[in-house]
Homo-oligomer: A and B are copies of this chain.
Amino acid sequence: MVEQPLEKIKRIEEQFVEKIADNMQTYGVTATVGRVLGIIYMNRKPMTLDNLSEETGMSKTRMSQVVREMVDFNIAEKVFEKGVRKDLYSVEQDYYQTFISLFTSNWRKAIQKNKIFEKKMAAELQALLETEALDKDLEQKIHILLKETKEWHDYYQWLAELVEFFDSGEIFNHVPKR
């Protein structure tokens, strides 16, 4: 029995979706997030949790979790359509913007956590330097760690600027869209 063209097209679409899912690890999210992204993308129209559950063969609860994650990452949004009671979700259609959303979400999270850490370390080291009677060797060690903290801070500052460089679209002035 020869495969019908329509079947074949469907299979090709599925392969696209699977490839997106497969790549998603690199973007910092799970394959399932990628799969759902791909499914809604290929569908060209917003979808409900039930639709997604149907398409993926996963539970509706899981779809709820995945979709929430996607909204957090700014790659999906809830849309309203009059007469439709269920929640509808659409996804970012632009590849470049999807890259940027995931890149910036991930790094912003990391940068945020580091700000807190940085401050704590600098304070602990400063306190240690001031309160105790230290021999030269120990004092030296503390100064090295303080310098390390400074370098760390500068690097995370750079990362923050890098995130801005992407988020603002400035990157496209230097690596132009194709």
Contacts and interface: CB of A to CB of B under 8 A. Distances in A.
Given A26-B106, A109-B26, A128-B9, A121 B16 contact: yes
Contact of A161 (B8, B16, B162, B175): B175
A176 B109 CA distance: 22
A177 interface: yes
A15 interface: yes
Q: Which range contains the number of A residues in contact with the other chain? A: 35 or more
A107 interface: yes
Interface stretch (A47-55, A77-85, A146-154): A146-154
Nearest to A145: B12
Contacts of A161: 175
A60 B162 CA distance: 37
Nearest to A137: B6
A178 interface: yes
B26 A138 contact: no
Interface in A1-35: 5-6, 8-9, 12-13, 15-16, 19, 22-23, 25-26, 28
A136 interface: no
Interface string A158-178: 110110010000110011111
